[in-house]
Structure 1
């Protein structure tokens, strides 16, 4: 047979183009993310990223935004039963502890801000963990790992106590759902299993060796069939947690703090080297406070979390920017935003927990005043100092700093049909926190309470050499 020469050239050209396209696709598809970094800890991109593939939701009656895939649906279902925005948030948070075990659980804590439109009232709840009463400044003997991993790193959990306080608040309850309704959907997830998401799979892979070295954590995060951490798409079942949640339905939060779960829970932690006592559990209480507020452009009012949260810092930033940032966006505008943040974070290290540090009042009220911001911290500098250059180093770095400020925040929020709004924030320090698992699924670290050395503390938000070094 014979083939004409032009036809041979066409066929060869097509084959070469296909091979070239395949090679390019394999190169860009299989190469490590950003010069060898993993997806969990990527470097800052040097070119614009593509738009997110997450669809934008448009809702008429209510909305719930969560991290765990099924948790928004659980929150929505509570709203459909005419539950309140607060009750929907509680149900979603129970779910988050199962859907996002790397981030939170019954051993954690949170801040919550609630807006009730009918009355115009804003509530803030501090339900963060606290240090055990036996905690001392030198209990880690200079070993920072002990403040991050193991029994000694465990703080008194506050998550469940906060849920109960929210549900029991007479102004935030709907009267249309029971405590059981908020927990049973999560029990179902525990029993039927929940698929490992891409993010969780990435976290487990990055921490595999550490997980294998801790049997209590490996019991739930290692697949016995493969002796590896659970992979993307695997289903994790939590039958023991389901049993614990059924007890919590029956006894309420007191099951963990002064009930049938307390003794075994404390024993588990102490067997792992912790210092928590039954008295620590019984003595824990949450704190309700007034919000930190600010009037912004466009007839907007900001309401946010007071100390030991970072609402004061946020208000200070926005008050500075509120004065001079133009409506349009350009490089200079972003520069000024960045410089304002640098200065505000310098002042952040002077703050702490007002429950335990009594001189914070000298710093906090001025920090949230618009006059203080517009005179640039009351130190004689006008806002023009930000200008086109960089802020003087002395202004952007506080002399009280005594530790690396490092944390990631996770948030869920919901807006109800009656326009009530709930925003919940918890702090992600390490994966997966203290790397412990007990029958009550505790997992939380004292690392948020330390600077360069260990200090006695109560759920401090930022490290410092001064104010945040507080006591149990």
Structure 2
């Protein structure tokens, strides 16, 4: 009750507008809020409040999701923005139907399977990342347009206006923003446009200072008038010039390779509607994102594997052992079978079949650890307890992205994960435009991960790299929302979402507690990366006793989620601590 009164007080304070032209005081970060009229959960309080304001003015979940995402492009620009892409999952309360938009970036038409190979050798990941080679055609603005046209009530101009105003008046720099600039300072300093924006006077913006981005505000205004400015017009030409002629600081010793993205590549881009992935779990319907994302198939397969166990009755070590082994096996299958469906016939339906999951589940032993990397199974012809083919570990990727979750007064829900890939993307700000470009093409495998075996995730012309983004919506048997959830974190997204789902649905943890729980992320490797709190737990001691090995990883994920809270209310939940804590908001606190 005290928490709910606190949230009510916070929301009432936030309704007081700042003086014209002034940056507001830093709004609070609240991990849980319950109430009526709709809810928004994101990593950033300014962005969540913008979404709530849209809902309060009569906008629906899609309007609020786009406005929140655009605001994150201002306040969380190192994780997402108009220079990147993402996956948008929508639940329509009237039809009780789940739909998705694929806003994944695409490679230029000139790309070949040797995109990241020089002299027969794959480029080091950090060199590929900070280059024009890694920049794919951004899909985020087209996703916003598609979503608003299909389900929204706002125009793109109206949805972008709050973020435009936020970028113009500025926001208060927090420790997370400062730390993200600081950790990329050497890279950002090597580009004239990036250093001018994020390293004023050669240092990161100070905590407590006001950060403004008028170039981005102007870009939002231009795109609101005509999105074609990005997909073939003036903004697009500036973007292409940045990729082909990276704005390297004179005297820099960094070897920044130019890319071959063209205005034609931008003009041909589409953000298609795709059928969601679907599986059942404990009588619930689980919907996710289909290829080129591996999120829906891999989360779904892991859940199907775990369905053969009564997770509610297991001890914590027994539960975690099965969770870790299930994600190990599902990643083995992900690495072998999932890629862009326009280039590769990914066996999505078979990967999500209970028959295939049962053939994998029987490999898990209660007191022993499967060898890793584990070999994949064959979803088209599953053989019980048999792994076939050559084991392949999960390739390196980056772990920065963002996720937002929205519900409105009518019961519509959005789970939306968007990204520019690594923290800071490619490191290049488009001069005069105020936004960072993605490095999403490094999500391709640079070379085949298993020699002699077809690799579904090699680069190719106009191809979309495989993703791990896992925006997920769970419905009951009447088609009503039970939970909507997602997370950033590269390939750790899949394990994070699976862990939160099983913790909430099986172990009956409170949603905010399921989000806060220490995490481990097994992705078919010999050791399981885990947070320090997980490694120090008694459960980890028990897991080590049967053969599990752990390596320390910093914060894994940054979940946002929403669920019904009874009597027509919504519960919004976010991270209490990771990334400085998230921001849950409701329109009318209960």
The TM-score by the shorter chain falls in which range?
A: 0.7 to 0.9
Distance 1:153 1:393, change over 3 A: closer
Q: Matched residues in 1 for 2:291 and 2:345: separation?
A: 13
- By percentage of residues, which structure has more helix? 1
Q: Superposed, which structure 2 residues align to 1:334-373 within 5 Å?
A: 334-361=320-347, 364-373=348-357
| Cα displacement (A) at 1:57 | 1.3
Give the aligned partner of residue 162 of structure 1. Answer: 143
Give the aligned partner of residue 424 of structure 2. Answer: 432
Q: Superposed, which structure 2 residues align to 1:16-415 within 5 Å?
A: 54-140=30-116, 141=118, 142-144=122-124, 145-169=126-150, 172-174=151-153, 177-224=154-201, 227-251=202-226, 253-272=227-246, 273-297=258-282, 299-309=283-293, 310-330=295-315, 331-361=317-347, 364-376=348-360, 382=362, 385-393=364-372, 395=374, 399=390, 401=392, 404-408=395-399, 409-415=401-407
Please say if residues 123 and 289 of structure 1, whose CA atoms lie closer than 8 Å, have aligned partners that are also in contact: yes
| Cα displacement (A) at 1:400 | 5.7
Q: Matched residues in 1 for 2:373 and 2:113: separation?
A: 29
Q: Which structure has the greater CA radius of gyration? A: 1
Please say if residues 107 and 459 of structure 2, whose CA atoms lie closer than 8 Å, have aligned partners that are also in contact: no
Secondary structure of 1:293's partner?
A: strand
Q: Matched residues in 2 for 1:442 and 1:276: separation?
A: 15
- By percentage of residues, which structure has more strand? 2
| Cα displacement (A) at 1:322 | 1.6
Secondary structure of 2:307's partner?
A: helix
Secondary structure of 1:72's partner?
A: helix
Distance 1:239 1:121, change over 3 A: same
Please say if residues 78 and 180 of structure 2, whose CA atoms lie closer than 8 Å, have aligned partners that are also in contact: yes
1:443 matches 2:437: yes
Q: Matched residues in 2 for 1:407 and 1:413: separation?
A: 22
TM-score, length of structure 2 as denominator length: 0.64
Structure 1 regions of 5+ residues with no counterpart? 1-52, 465-472
Q: Matched residues in 2 for 1:138 and 1:185: separation?
A: 42
Secondary structure of 1:59's partner?
A: strand
| Cα displacement (A) at 1:413 | 0.5
TM-score, length of structure 1 as denominator length: 0.79
| Cα displacement (A) at 1:146 | 3.8
Q: Matched residues in 2 for 1:428 and 1:257: separation?
A: 17
| Cα displacement (A) at 1:211 | 1.5
Please say if residues 448 and 461 of structure 1, whose CA atoms lie closer than 8 Å, have aligned partners that are also in contact: yes
| Cα displacement (A) at 1:403 | 5.5
Q: How many residues of Structure 1 are paired with residues of Structure 2 in the alignment?
A: 397
Find 2:466's aligned residue among 457, 460, 467.
Answer: 460
Secondary structure of 2:78's partner?
A: coil
Q: Deviations over 1:403-457 (max 9, x none)?
A: 6243434211001111111001134642211000013424101211233477334
Secondary structure of 1:263's partner?
A: helix
> After alignment, is 325-334 or 95-104 more displaced?
325-334
Please say if residues 410 and 428 of structure 1, whose CA atoms lie closer than 8 Å, have aligned partners that are also in contact: no
Secondary structure of 2:219's partner?
A: helix
Q: Matched residues in 1 for 2:373 and 2:135: separation?
A: 36
Q: Deviations over 1:247-276 (max 9, x none)?
A: 11211x212103333323322322222211
